[in-house]
Chain A
Amino acid sequence: MTVDVLSALPRLAQRLGGAEASLASAERLSGGASMETWAFGVEVLGVVRDYILRRRSAPFDPENSRSTSLAAEAALIRAVRAQGAPAPPLAHLCDAHDGLGEAHVTERIAGETLGRRIVTDPRFEAVRPRLARQCGEILAVIHATPPPSEAQLKTADFRVELGRYEDAYRSLGAERPVLELAFRYLKTAAPEPVDPVLLHGDFRNGNLMIAPSTGVAAVLDWELSHIGDPAEDLSWICVNSWRFGRPDMPVGGFGAYADLLAGYEAAGGRPVTLKRLRTWQALGSLKWGVMCLMMYQSWVGGTDASVERPMIGRRVSETEIDLINLMEAGL
């Protein structure tokens, strides 16, 4: 189904703001193969409120997809906000009347999401040293949130994740010695499972709305949420691929491991060792490497014709050098 978002937005504006409301602005922010994000403003009697529309632009397969539905994402946002975690307030879960397919609307939170700017822009200099601890505190709150049953989240531990990505890698027919070595290495290094908790699933610099004055204003993109090992969330933000040129700042390119873990414990999170975090971090690099191969493959197969897809295949070597360094260091 082709949806003309721009022509559906004026109707949505009235649904959000009432009969007096009109669409003040609309801009597509990003669009992958399966998900689109739009920013739009709704004007009511001279006052404009800003919103974000997220909508699925390709058919959704709940059995095989790693993503949750947007309805599940809405339930998650409500659940974590009730516990005090910063997620953008849900304004509307779209239905058939909206003519937008599967979609939801949240309020737009002010701030910056571009990882490189957060890491380098002088506007964030003052708040940067506080971010790693904030991330730890927020993750502790998310992990303590009872998973909303209507979200029907999947469960995965280290071995399940490693196996899933090894299967994906094998199906691609690529021959990458470093990835082969890492799969074997991590099978041996796999940490013992712990009591699983609610995870964000994609907690990294890039999915955080950062305000220059206060730091983390919102955690975005809940679609990869699942039940699993707390160290998975704590480690994903430490994967070197999203340190944006600051490998010396392991947490998102802005902070130290110790601050992240201290914030996590101070906010009630069960202590996680650095070794456990770094083992998960290596799995994170390995997963990102396989994802890059898969995105290249989606171009080969013709499902995504964008120039971005083949080019991302050339990011596999970045994960390979990071994996070698982690294995050399014994993690």
Chain B
Amino acid sequence: MITHPKAEELAQAVARWIDQIRPDLDPRNAFLARVASNALATIGRELASGQAGERLATERLSGVLGRDGAHAELNAELCARLRAGEFNVDTPGLLAALKANVLDQLSIDQPNYRHEG
């Protein structure tokens, strides 16, 4: 990994600069600047925990499908089996695995999202 600066530090620096100039922007650009700043924060979180999250997600998919494989391949197989109706909400362990995977992704995408009950 490249350091001095690390990628997350670059993202953080750009986000800070955007936050500095935001108050001087017109409403439309101020809104887009906030979105841009949020995007950089998302990149920062993904750099910090994305790889670990994908490793865990792959393990959970392996558990549901009963075989090893790369994340994209297992994810595609699960989608195909859900489409075909081979798996459904009653499949043991399925909802719990999907929930854990989505919560991990949500912690990168929108850590402050307050989800349904």
Chain A neighbourhood of B106, CB < 8 A:
317-318, 320-321
Q: Which of B31, B89, B95, B114 contacts A247 (CB 8 A)?
A: B114
Interface majority SS on A: helix, strand, loop or mixed? helix
**Interface check A175, CB cutoff 8 A:** yes
Pairwise interchain contact B28-A181, C-beta atoms closer than 8 A: no
Judge whether A177 and B95 touch: CB under 8 Å: no
Closest to A176 in B: B79
- Option from B39, B42, B79, B101 in Cβ contact (under 8 Å) with A175: B79
A to B CB contacts below 8 Å, 26 in the list: A27-B27, A31-B28, A175-B72, A175-B76, A177-B82, A177-B98, A177-B101, A178-B98, A178-B102, A184-B82, A184-B88, A240-B116, A245-B112, A247-B114, A248-B117, A306-B32, A307-B32, A310-B39, A311-B38, A315-B110, A318-B106, A321-B113, A324-B98, A324-B102, A325-B117, A326-B116
Query: Known contacts A178-B102, A321-B106, A324-B95; is A247 also within 8 Å of B115 by CB?
Result: yes
With an 8 Å Cβ cutoff, the count of chain B residues facing the other chain is 37
Residues on the B chain within 8 Å of A176, using CB: 79
Interface size on A, residues (CB 8 A): 36
* Known pairs A175-B75, A321-B103 / 20 extra A-B pairs, C-beta < 8 Å: A30-B28, A175-B79, A177-B78, A177-B98, A184-B88, A248-B117, A306-B32, A307-B32, A307-B36, A308-B35, A311-B42, A317-B102, A317-B105, A317-B106, A318-B113, A318-B115, A321-B115, A324-B99, A325-B115, A326-B116
A49 interface hit (Cβ, 8 Å): no
Q: Please tell me if B109 contacts chain A, counting CB pairs below 8 Å.
A: yes
* A63 in the interface (beta carbon within 8 A): no
Give the residues from 14 to 73 in chain B that come closer than 8 angstroms, CB to CB, to chain A: 27-28, 31-32, 35-36, 38-39, 42, 72
Chain B residues with CB under 8 A of A326? 116
| Chain B proximity of A252: nearest CB distance (Å) | 14
Cβ contacts B75-104/A at 8 Å (1 or 0 each) = 110110011010111000011001101110
A154 at the interface (CB under 8 A from B): no
Complex-state Cα separation, A279 to B33, whole angstroms:
37
Contact with B along A4-36 (1 / 0, CB 8 A): 000000000000000000000001101100000
Asked if A167 CB lies within 8 Å of chain B CBs, one says: no
A185 interface residue (CB < 8 Å to B):
yes
Check if B109 sits within 8 Å of A327, measured CB to CB: no
* 3 closest cross-chain pairs (CB), A and B: A180-B82, A314-B109, A325-B116
Contact of B110 among A27, A181, A317 (CB under 8 A): A317
Q: How many A-B residue pairs have CB under 8 A?
A: 98
Q: Find the B residue at minimum CB distance from A310.
A: B39
Cβ of A328 within 8 Å of any chain B Cβ, yes or no, is yes
Contact indicator A321/B116 (Cβ below 8 Å):
yes
CB distance from B34 to the nearest CB of A (A): 10
Task: Kindly state the separation between the CA atoms of A307 and B79 in the bound complex, as whole angstroms.
Answer: 29
The residue on B at minimum CB distance from A28 is B28
Specify the chain B residue showing the minimal Cβ separation from A30.
B28
Within the complex, the shortest CB–CB distance from A197 to chain B, in Å, comes to 27
A246 at the interface (CB under 8 A from B): yes
Are A321's CB and B114's CB within 8 A?
no
Which residue on B lies nearest to A312, using beta carbons?
A: B35
A304 to B95, CA, bound (A): 35
CA distance A234 to B99 in the complex (A): 27
With an 8 A cutoff between CB atoms, is A265 at the interface? Answer: no
Q: Is the CB of A184 within 8 A of B35?
A: no
Tell me which of B36, B88, B105, B113 contacts A181 (CB under 8 A). B88
